[in-house]
Amino acid sequence: MGLLDSVLGQVLGGAQQQPQGGGGLGDLGALLGGAGGSSGDLGGLAGALGGLLANNGEVGGLGGLVSKFDQAGMGDVIGSWIGKGENAPISGGQLQQVLGSDAISGIAQKLGINVSTLLPMLAALLPTLIDQLTPKGQAPAEGLGTQDDLLSSLSGLLQKR
């Protein structure tokens, strides 16, 4: 089982134990692949993450996300995810502060889960994903690519076992 699968299992397994969590391990395929669940339909969690990280996404790609973290006074946190070494942790509340309540609510709505389930999931996944998508310890000058490019990369990372 790959690192990403392990993180997903821990986060979604914990959400399953929450009484109103709305998303357990059984929902993993739906979250990753959208309602259709086919490998060609990555409108779920991978699509939401692509929307955050892709050059043509909602926040302007990795560079835009770094700017949002800088504006919130947390540039060192995302810098640790991009750079080599240990990833600094982030809480769901801090992530909501960086991205904004509207963006978080929109992602949760797209996934069909509540915000209290989404925040810890994103807080666990984003550091790992950004770390794995920037293996040389720096953000690529051209960004991480379009949403389609990034979905392909995310699909490959999520399917590694």
Q: Would 31 be classed as within a structural domain?
A: no
* Model confidence pLDDT, tens digit, residues 57-109: 788 889 999 999 999 999 999 999 999 999 999 999 999 999 999 999 988 98
The answer to whether residue 121 sits within a structural domain is: yes
What residues contact 78, with CB distance under 8 A and at least 6 apart? Answer: 65, 66, 69, 130
Domain containing 149 — which CATH number? 1.10.10.690
Asked if the structure places residue 18 within a domain, the reply is no
Nearest Cα to Cα of residue 91 among 54, 57, 66, 116: 116
- The confidence band for 141, taking pLDDT boundaries of 50, 70 and 90, is confident
- Contact of 114 with 22, CB cutoff 8 Å: yes
Q: From 67, 64, 120, 117, select the one nearest 90 (Cα to Cα).
A: 120
Which distant-in-sequence residues (6+ apart) come within 8 Å of 91 by Cβ? 123
* 70 domain-assigned: yes
Amino acid at 52: L
In 3D space, the residue among 81, 95, 84, 86 whose CA is nearest the CA of residue 123 turns out to be 95
pTM of the model: 0.71
Residue 72 placed within a domain = yes
In a domain, 107, yes or no: yes
CA distance 152 to 161: 16
pLDDT band at 161 (very low <50, low <70, confident <90, very high): very low
What pLDDT does 74 receive? 97
Pick from 49, 79, 39: nearest CA to 63: 79
pLDDT given for residue 86 in this prediction: 94
Domain count, the chain: 1
Nearest-5° Cα angle at 157, 68 to 41: 85
At residue 6, does pLDDT exceed 60?
no
Q: Which residue has the tokens 């709305």?
A: 22
Q: What is the pLDDT of residue 52?
A: 83
| Residue with tokens 């929450």, as numbered in its chain | 18
Q: Which domain holds residue 56?
A: 3-10+45-159
Would you say residue 25 lies in a domain?
no
Q: Tell me the pLDDT tens digit for each residue of 8-42.
A: 554 444 444 333 333 333 333 444 444 333 333 33
Contact 118, 108 (CB under 8 A): yes
> Considering the domain boundaries, does residue 26 fall inside one?
no
Instruction: Using pLDDT thresholds of 50, 70 and 90, give the confidence band for residue 1.
Output: very low
